[in-house]
Amino acid sequence: MKQTQARGRAAKSSSPLFGVGRIHATHGALMALGDVEDVMDLVRRHVAGDWGDLSAEERAANDSAVLEQVGRVFSAYDVANQRLCVVTAADRTLTTVRLSTES
């Protein structure tokens, strides 16, 4: 399956494309989200294949990681004038929601 087909399927599917394991949100991410958006909304977008504001190369890397079930999956979203990142570990045991300025 081509990567563009995977992305097209992801956009049409509400089913998760991959497991997220345990979900962790940093204090900074939770403060930035506040009442604007629920952290789980970002995680749902992430597992549905909505990678947010990424370059074509980063999107292709995510598509490949999902299709091959190898490698981390990374998304970035601009929320309330902050850039939030959602990162699922390569082994799919942990997904972290954090500010882009946090490590």
Q: If we measure between CA atoms, which residue out of 33, 40, 34 comes closest to residue 99?
A: 33
pLDDT in tens, 22-31: 999 999 999 9
Q: Are 23 and 97 in contact (CB under 8 A)?
A: yes
Tell me the one-letter amino acid at 79: V
Is 13's pLDDT higher than 90? no
User: What pLDDT score was predicted for residue 101?
Assistant: 94
pLDDT category of residue 6 using cuts at 50, 70 and 90: very low
CA distance readout (Å), 40 to 45, 46, 47: 9, 10, 10
Please give the angle made by the CA atoms of 58, 16 and 12, to the nearest 5 degrees: 80
Average pLDDT over residues 83-101: 97
pTM listed for this prediction: 0.84
